[in-house]
Chains A and B, each alone.
Chain A
Amino acid sequence: MLKKMRKGGKCCGSDTDPLELHGLKKIVLVGNPNVGKSVLFNRLTGAYVTVSNYPGTTVEVSRGKGKIGDKYFEVVDTPGMYSLLPITEEEAVSRRLLLNEHPEAVVHVVDAKNLPRMLPLTLQLIEAGLPVVLVLNMMDEAKKLGLDVNVSSLQKRLGVPVVSAVFIKGEGVEQLKRVIKENGKLVS
């Protein structure tokens, strides 16, 4: 299962055999550091990339194969980014990916506890004309803090699908898959 680790000298990025992924439609996971992109990646692909509780665990792009319905997709995990205007090298890695590839869906994973800090990137992704799905992760922790997020109102205002999730427990993964399947090419 852990093909990535076998390529000599590379440690933290996943590289499934490129031929295996050739021609598959892409789902790109983006978002601030430490919001759970890698957890989602592992859930979608059944592979394992390192997950930790601090920002900056992922510094390379990881690619894996995931199945939604009966269709296979290439799932791409990216280093965290705060904005489309990169400051650090890891952010530049993620932005370059968006500049060069043509994803079927861009899943913006955010920490539901910190929406004011996270949504500016959602706005930028929408502005860039990307097929965005917004995922509010860590909803359980947000609820404990007394935050009540009205998902449908947010969805209406943003004009993109919004899914609430607790990826570490697996909640929201199926719904996200459904949304991606139904909205095939989310671009308007």
Chain B
Amino acid sequence: MASLLVNEMNYNPDIQAAVQKIESSLKHTYKLSTRTIALLLLQGDKEIHQLVQEKENSYAGIQKVIQETSVAFEQPINYVITLKRQELTNSLLADAVKEGKVTDNNRFSEILNKLTINPFTGIPILLLVLYYGLYQFVGVFGAGTLVDFLEADVFEIYINPLVNVWTARYIPWPVVQDLIANDYGIITLGIRYAIAIILPIVGTFFIAFSIIEDSGYLPRLALLVDRVFKAIGLNGRAVIPMTLGFGCDTMATMVTRTLETKRERIIATLLLALAIPCSAQLGVILALLSGKPLALAAWVSFLTLVFLFIGFLTAKLMPGDKPIFYMEVPPLRMPTIANVVSKTYTRMQWYFLEILPIFILASVLIWAGRLTGLFDLVVKALEPVMNLIGLPAEAAVAFLFGFFRRDYGAAGLYDLQQNGALSTEQLVVAAATLTLFVPCIAQFSMMLKERGLKTALAIAGFIFPFAFLAGYVLNLLLKMIGGI
């Protein structure tokens, strides 16, 4: 029944003739019509070329037809075909759509739209969003109030003592006791980190992020930062994976698929792995530094600097086309509570189910490491590195945790600070180095999947020494200005 319309799709006599020639030499059946296959071949679709080359003996002949046709046109064939299709669309719509008066002119959303895009008002709006959405809600409320309650009131007072007493009473072997309870036990460390520290932070972040997402603010932010991003080899589109990275870098690495060129995808993957802290890490660091605005400012500016510097450098060093910016801007909409709730729930469930086994595994590994003395050995080996960046030897534990997950490492730092083992400068250096330091296991496996072994290894191989070098430089800088 659709044949009538297909007949209307006459692109151009030359193209039509080429299509017919190609169609007649396609002997196999495809899931898409031979006409479509022929058109895609003409437009230089690599995947279809490969498919046809594998299936058809006549591929060389087809190539010749394509060659001959493309020289007959001044513009690329793709352009000619697209133009024709648009003409047909317009003629179809001329009959079917009538434009009347705009009945519901939403002034407020129009004004808001303009304010978010204009740099003079857009940047203050961005700062407001960051301050209330990220700092106040995630940092102060999530990582402060909620974590304090769960950590201090629930785990420290009820669960940990109970678990410690219970294991001491019923399990006669100290070795097994340590596996479950005490300093590094599955329940007292692994589950405590997951539930008391990570869960409230990730939860509040995803609530804030879902609301921002559903309002349609992100594409507007993309317009706003497009110019800055261009300098680091990305375009405004990359705002979405980058902001999502503040939630979970693993998710974000997957979303880099939406970027148009391979070069952009690699740059984005590198920057995510290096300079974007995930929500759990961010929350813990915000909580660590929240009482010290200068320290927080030092951490933020140092990471921003690293982000821009490395982005700029890779953009300069990596060959490839400069990105062009093209993105649809959907209308600003009122987020619906139902969608925000189910989205937050889905993401948290995913996140939690992913981290819990790793946390438990990490507890077991640390337990085994301590039992065999390997743990102390690694901590010892890291000691000189810690000293080099001005940190006490105990900080090595947090970095060791960081191998397992970004947030786990930050949580380890939290414990150190609670014990008063770090000065403000040390805290800043540790937080910055830990943020830059290796992507977590989950993120690394996503990098492998999306970018391939070579690129993933190259990125990790760069980040590891770079993080410590940056920590070293930051430590020197802080010393030079006489501390904060």
Binding site for B on A (CB under 8 A): 2, 5-6, 8-9, 11-12, 32-34, 48, 50-56, 59-60, 79, 83-90, 92-93, 95-96, 98-102, 115-116, 119-120, 123-124, 126-130, 132, 141, 143-150, 153-154, 157-160, 168, 188
Contact = CB atoms under 8 A, between A and B. Distances in A.
Interface of B: 1-6, 9, 30-33, 35-36, 39-40, 43, 45, 47, 51, 78, 82, 85-86, 88-90, 92-93, 95-104, 210, 213-216, 218-219, 237, 240, 248, 250-251, 254-255, 257-260, 265, 327-328, 330-331, 333, 335-336, 339, 342-343, 346-347, 349-350, 353-354, 357, 442, 445-446, 449
Nearest to A157: B92
A46 to B, nearest CB: 12
Contacts of A128: 32-33, 35-36
A9 B240 contact: no
Contact of A146 (B102, B210, B446): B102
B260 A87 contact: yes
Contacts of A90: 257-258
A76 B152 CA distance: 46
B69 to A, nearest CB: 16
A59 B254 contact: yes
B353 A159 contact: no
A11 B248 contact: yes
Contacts, number: 191
B97 A147 contact: yes
Given A88-B259, A126-B5, A157-B95, A50 B346 contact: yes
B447 to A, nearest CB: 12
A88 B92 contact: no
Contact of A115 (B93, B265, B333, B446): B93
Contacts of A48: 342-343, 346
B32 A123 contact: no
Given A5-B353, A53-B333, A60-B254, 13 more contacts: A5-B346, A9-B446, A11-B248, A11-B354, A48-B342, A48-B343, A52-B343, A89-B257, A99-B30, A99-B51, A115-B89, A129-B32, A145-B102
14 contacts: A5-B349, A11-B354, A53-B215, A53-B333, A54-B216, A85-B45, A89-B265, A100-B31, A116-B90, A126-B5, A146-B99, A147-B98, A153-B95, A160-B1
A72 B210 CA distance: 32
A9 B354 contact: yes
B353 A6 contact: yes
Contact of B47 (A54, A96, A146, A150): A96
B100 A148 contact: yes
Question: What are the 3 tightest A-B residue pairs by CB atom distance, in nearest-first order?
Answer: A129-B33, A146-B100, A56-B258
B36 A34 contact: no
B31 A98 contact: yes
Nearest to A95: B47
Contacts of B357: 8
A81 to B, nearest CB: 12
Given A56-B258, A89-B257, A96-B47, A120 B89 contact: yes
With a 10 A CB-CB cut-off, give which of B89, B104, B442 has the most chain A CB atoms: B89
B152 to A, nearest CB: 31
A127 B215 contact: no
Contacts of A83: 82
A127 B7 CA distance: 9
Nearest to A160: B2
Contacts of B446: 9
Contact of B103 (A54, A56, A144): A144
A145 to B, nearest CB: 6
A53 B216 contact: yes
Contact of A120 (B86, B216, B442): B86
A145 B240 CA distance: 28
A32 B328 CA distance: 10
Contacts of A130: 32
B330 A153 contact: no
B47 to A, nearest CB: 7
A12 B381 CA distance: 39
B254 A52 contact: no
A153 B358 CA distance: 58
A149 B47 contact: no
Nearest to B90: A116
A50 B250 contact: no
Given A147-B97, A153-B95, A158 B5 contact: yes
B76 to A, nearest CB: 11
A120 B39 CA distance: 14
A129 B442 CA distance: 41
A56 B347 CA distance: 17
Contacts of A99: 30-32, 47, 51
A62 to B, nearest CB: 12
Nearest to B351: A11
Contacts of A54: 213, 216, 218-219, 240, 330
A53 B104 contact: no
Contact of B33 (A2, A56, A127, A144): A127
A99 B43 CA distance: 17
Contacts of B51: 99
